């Protein structure tokens, strides 16, 4: 699909161009009511000198720059530095700020996976996500199916993601809110004792920090 965007109800299937390329969605589709509202809100804020166009552009650029690599760097530091790990588990926001990541005003809580406990994060109401460390959430994280099943049948959901945990492992599901976000500190894989922080970070996937995955093994 040229543009995987299930939130949109309008038709994106424009077929292929004569040269065989999918037509790319652009901002030339019929203007919607909500788009008009966005333009109006933005223009009114700018006219009233509440916000500048440069601030909006900078914010979008900062958001676009965020990726799971930020979270992976935090996890790798926690694996490498026990004092940092202790600070991360005490106050994940403050520990992340130490590394130069802007966490904003929200509370960030790191939950640690161990041999006996596996953590999974969800936002049952909408899509709250540790986006300052992971970027924007994947589409499935926002689906009604994930939001409901993560709490109702987390083991089944985890199996679908390829994480088959023994019954003896306790699963903790954390329901995020707008101002209370969670990030999973995955268990450090075996055989990584000699690895550098940068090498370790490469083992940390986005899903491992959501809890729907485990860290890669080298």
Partner 1 sequence: MEGHDFALWEKRVDALMVLCGSKGFFTVDGLRRALEDMGEDAFEKHSYYERWIAAVNQNLIEAGVYNLEELGARMEEIAARGPTYGEAQDG
Q: Residues annotated as binding site?
A: 123, 126-128
Residues 1-16: b if buried by 16+ CB within 10 A, e if exposed: eeeeeeeeeeebeeee
The binding track of 88-117 with respect to partner 1, each residue x by CB under 8 A or -, is ----------------xxx-----------
Answer whether 181's CB lies under 8 Å from 129's CB.
Answer: yes
Looking at the Cβ atoms of 34 and 191, the one nearer to partner 1 is 34
Sign of torsion over alpha carbons 210, 216, 217, 218: negative
Measure Cα distances from 57 to 45, 60, 61 in Å. 14, 5, 6
Spatial separation of the C-alpha atoms in residues 172 and 52, rounded to whole Å:
43
Among 139, 153, 160, 199, which residue sits at the site for partner 1 (rule: CB under 8 A)? 139
One residue of 14, 23, 31, 196 binding partner 1 per CB under 8 A: 31
The only residue of 7, 145, 190, 193 in contact with partner 1, by rule CB under 8 A: 7
- Which residues participate in the annotated binding site for Fe(3+)? 123, 126-128
The answer to whether residue 35 forms part of the interface with partner 1 (CB under 8 A) is yes
Give the H/E segment covering residue 182. Answer: strand 180-185
The interface with partner 1 within residues 62-81 (CB under 8 A) comprises: 63-64
Enter the DSSP assignment of 139. G
136 vs 171 by CB, closer to partner 1: 136
Q: Kindly list the catalytic residues.
A: 123, 126-128
Q: How far apart are the first and last CA of the chain?
A: 33
120 phi/psi in degrees, rounded to 5: -135, 135
Which two tokens mark 67? 């990726």
- The yes or no reply on residue 153 touching partner 1 (CB under 8 A) is no
Q: Which of 14, 16, 23, 29 binds partner 1 (CB under 8 A)?
A: 29
Would you state the structure tokens that stand for residue 138, as one six-digit string? Answer: 């994947």
- Which is closer to partner 1, CB of 6 or CB of 81? 6
Closest CA to 163 of 131, 186, 182: 186
> How many residues make contact with partner 1 (CB under 8 A)?
49
Per CB under 8 A, does 34 bind partner 1? yes
Pairwise CA distance, residues 198 & 204, whole Å: 10
Among 16, 40, 65, 90, binds partner 1 (CB under 8 A): 40
Q: Does 8 bind partner 1 (CB under 8 A)?
A: yes
Binding interface with partner 1 (CB under 8 A): 3-5, 7-9, 25-32, 34-45, 48, 50-51, 55-56, 59-60, 63-64, 104-106, 126-127, 136, 138-140, 142, 177-179, 206
């Amino acid at each position: 699909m040229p543009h995987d965007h299930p939130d949109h109800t309008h038709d994106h299937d424009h077929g292929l161009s004569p040269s065989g390329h999918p037509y790319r969605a652009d901002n030339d589709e019929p203007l919607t009511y909500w788009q008009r509202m966005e333009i109006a809100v933005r223009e009114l804020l700018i006219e009233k000198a509440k916000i500048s166009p440069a601030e909006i552009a900078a914010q979008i650029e900062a958001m676009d720059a965020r990726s799971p690599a930020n979270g992976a760097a935090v996890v790798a530091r926690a694996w490498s530095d026990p004092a940092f790990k202790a600070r991360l588990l005490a106050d994940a926001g403050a520990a992340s700020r130490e590394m130069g990541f802007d966490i904003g005003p929200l509370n960030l809580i790191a939950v640690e996976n161990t041999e006996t406990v596996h953590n999974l994060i969800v936002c049952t109401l909408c899509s709250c996500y540790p986006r300052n460390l992971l970027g924007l959430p994947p589409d499935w994280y926002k689906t009604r199916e994930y939001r409901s099943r993560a709490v109702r049948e987390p083991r089944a959901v985890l199996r679908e993601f390829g994480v088959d945990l023994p019954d003896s492992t306790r699963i903790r599901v954390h329901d995020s809110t707008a101002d209370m976000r969670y990030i999973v500190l995955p268990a450090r894989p075996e055989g990584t004792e000699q690895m550098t922080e940068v090498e370790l970070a490469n083992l940390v996937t986005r899903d491992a920090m959501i809890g729907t995955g485990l860290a890669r093994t080298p």
